[in-house]
Structure 1
C-alpha cells in the first residue's frame, strides 16, 4: 500500500530530527527516516569521539523544540572563555562571555547525545513517525512529487522531500543538484583524552604553520583534542602508541592547559568544504551537511545546520498558515535566499582563518600576532567576535566594524 505524508525527511540525525520536532504540532503529517539508531546513553561511559560546540542560539532552538531538557539531563560541558594564540600563550587573545554579560559561549556536546535529545522530542508529537532502522531502496522524483520505497517494503509519496542525510546526500543526488567542493591540504586528527588539572571552563585554540590545534572541555575529567595536519602527519600520529602520543601533545601545549593522562579513543578524517549549487528544487529541500559542509575549525557546522532548521521551518509554517503549497519552488526559494549567502560567507570566513594562519610567512605572522595582541585589549571588535561566538551575529556583521574603520581611513 502506498502511504502519503506531507513531508518526508531523509536523515534522522541532529538536523533531520530537529526539523521534524520544530514542525511538531503543525498538523502536517511527517515521516523521518534513519538508517541506524543511536546507541543509548550510558552515564558511566567515556565521551564519544565526535562532539560539537553548540552556540547559545542553537541551544535556544533545542529548548524551543523540547530537546534540550533531554540533552542537559545526559551531559554537556559549558564553557565561558576561549583562548586563542599562535606563538606565545601570553601574546594571544582571551574571549570571555562575561564581556557582554552572557553566562557562557556555548556547550560542548557529543553529537549522539544531541541526536538522542532531538529524537526524544519527536515522541511528544502524534503527527510525526520515526522510521528507524530502515533505508531507501528506490527513490523517484517526478514533477515535484517524490516516491520512496524502503527496504522494509513500505512505500511513500510526499509533496516535500527534505534531504538531511549528510554530506553524501542521496536526496541531493536524486534531485540532480550539483555540488561545489574543495579539499583542504590537511586532515583532522581527533582524540578523546582523560585529563587532570588545568582550567575547565575554557576552549584552547592554537594556530601553527602546519595547522590549528584545539583542546575542548568535555564532561568529567575528559577533553576533546583536535589537530589539523597534512594527511601524512596525521597517519603518523595514528600509528603512535599512547605514551608517545601523549608526550607529543605535552610538547606542543603550554603547562597552563590540563595535563593529558590517557588516550580514550582516536580517529581521523579528511577536511572537505562542500556547497550545493542549489538548496531547493520543486518539492525538494536540503539542510545541514546535505547542503553544505565547512572547515570544523570554529565548530560551526552543526550551528549552521540548526540555523537552516530555524529558517526552513519558519518558511514552511508561514506558507502553511497562508494556504500556500509548502513544496512549491517559490516557497522553498525563500528558505534558500535566507541561508545560501550566509552559509557561503561562513565558509569563506573559515577559509580565511585556515589559510591565513596555517603558514609561516613572516609579514602574515607579524600581522597575525599584532592583531591578537590588539584584540586582547578589548574594544568593539572583540565584543563583536564574542557576539558572533554566541550566535548573535552573522559573518557579515562580524566583519562590519573593521570594514567601517577601513572606509573611514
Structure 2
C-alpha cells in the first residue's frame, strides 16, 4: 500500500507543480500517471510550448525547478507585438519600458516537465507512480482510497485531479462543466524564418483567427500557433511544405521574412471548458481539468500554475494541524480560482469576438481600441502588468 497526505492524478506540468509545492512544505505526495516519466529531450524543438510569465517564473524559482529549465533551453522574450491584419490596430510592448529584463519566456512543455520531475526526484516525501493508471476511487469522510490498475491501493486525505481537459475523475464524480466550442482549431509547428526573431513574441489577428510567432532559443526559429476555422486548419495541414510556407509568409505580412516549416503540423480542436464545481468532498480539480481557454493570449499554463500555487498555500495548515479547517481551505481555493478563471475566460471570449471577421465597424473599434491602449501610458501599463502576471 502507498500512503500520503495528497495524491495527484495527472503527471503534467500543473499536477507536478502542485506536488512539488506541497512536498517542499513537508506534505507527503503520491503522483499517479499512466504515461512515462519523460523521454530524453529531443534535439528538435517540441511542438507544445508555453509563454511563462513573471509570476510563473517566480513559482518555478521558489520550487527549485527554474535552474533545471535554464540548464536545458528556453527563450526570453523582451518584446510583444500585436496587430490586426485588416486595420491600423497595433500595440507594442518592450521590457525596457517596464524596468524588467524580459516580459516572459517561451519554454517547451517537455522542458518544464523534465525540470519538475528532476526536482521531485530529490524529495524524500514524494512517490512517483508513472506507468500506473487508476482503476477505482472511493472516498470516505476522512480519506480517499485509490486502486491502481495492478491492484495496489493508494490511501490519501486529498485527491487532486490534474488529469487534463477530458478529466476522467471529473466525469467519474459527476462534477458539472460548462463548455463552448470556439469553432477554432489550432495548428502548431516549428518554423525557421529569414529574419531573426529578435526575442519578440508576435501575433497578428486575421479574419479567421490569430496567428502567433513565438521566439525559440535559435534566433531564426519560431514556434507558431495558428488558430482558425476547422476547415481552414485542415486545409493548411494538408498543404505541401512549399505551399504552407507561402501561405504563412502572406498571412504574417512577411514580418519575419521567408518561412520554412521544420516539423509536422498537427491540428488540435479548441474548446472553452469551465467546471462549475471544483471540489467534491476530498476531490479537487486543477488546471485543464477545471478550465481550458483559447490560446490567443498564452494564459493556459499560467492559470493552471496559479491553481497549483494557491492550493498548496491553503491546504498546508489544515493537513498538518489538528485545528486546521480543510473544508474552509478548499472552499476558499474553489471560490478564488473559479473567479480568476471566469475573468480570463470572459476576456478571451471578448477578444476573440472583437477581432473576428472583417466587419467595418469591428475593424474601426479594434483599431481605435488598440491605438488608445498603445498611446495612453496608464492603460498600457495595466495591460503590461496583466501580461507579466502581476
Smaller-chain TM-score bracket: over 0.9
Match of 1:397 in 2: none
Write the distance in 2 (CA, Å) between the matches of 1:347 and 1:104.
26
Instruction: Judge which range, 368-377 or 336-345, deviates more.
Output: 368-377
Match of 2:202 in 1: 204
1:233-272 to 2 correspondences below 5 Å: 233-272=232-271
1:193-342 to 2 correspondences below 5 Å: 193-220=191-218, 221-320=220-319, 322-324=321-323, 328-342=326-340
| Cα distance change on mapping 1:299 and 1:91 into 2, 3 Å | closer
Deviation at 1:23, TM superposition (A): 1.2
Deviations 1:250-292 (A, max 9, x none): 1122333243123322111111000111111211111100111
Provide the TM-score with structure 1 as the length reference.
Answer: 0.91
Write the distance in 1 (CA, Å) between the matches of 2:214 and 2:274.
27
**1:180 matches 2:178:** yes
* SS of aligned partner of 2:322: coil
Number of equivalenced pairs: 389
Instruction: Judge which range, 75-84 or 192-201, deviates more.
Output: 192-201
**1:6 matches 2:5:** yes
Match of 2:60 in 1: 62
Match of 2:36 in 1: 37
* SS of aligned partner of 1:270: strand
Structure 2 spans left out of the alignment, 5+ residues:
none
* SS of aligned partner of 1:360: coil
Deviations 1:45-82 (A, max 9, x none): 11111111000110110010111111111000110111
Q: Decide whether the 8 Å contact of 1:273 with 1:293 is kept in 2.
A: yes
Q: Decide whether the 8 Å contact of 2:84 with 2:90 is kept in 1.
A: yes
Structure 1 spans left out of the alignment, 5+ residues:
393-409
Provide the TM-score with structure 2 as the length reference.
Answer: 0.95
| Cα distance change on mapping 1:215 and 1:122 into 2, 3 Å | same
**1:76 matches 2:77:** no
Match of 1:113 in 2: 111
Write the distance in 1 (CA, Å) between the matches of 2:388 and 2:94.
11
* SS of aligned partner of 1:343: helix
Write the distance in 2 (CA, Å) between the matches of 1:256 and 1:115.
32
| Cα distance change on mapping 1:93 and 1:26 into 2, 3 Å | closer
Match of 1:156 in 2: 154
Write the distance in 1 (CA, Å) between the matches of 2:375 and 2:198.
23
Q: Decide whether the 8 Å contact of 1:37 with 1:132 is kept in 2.
A: yes
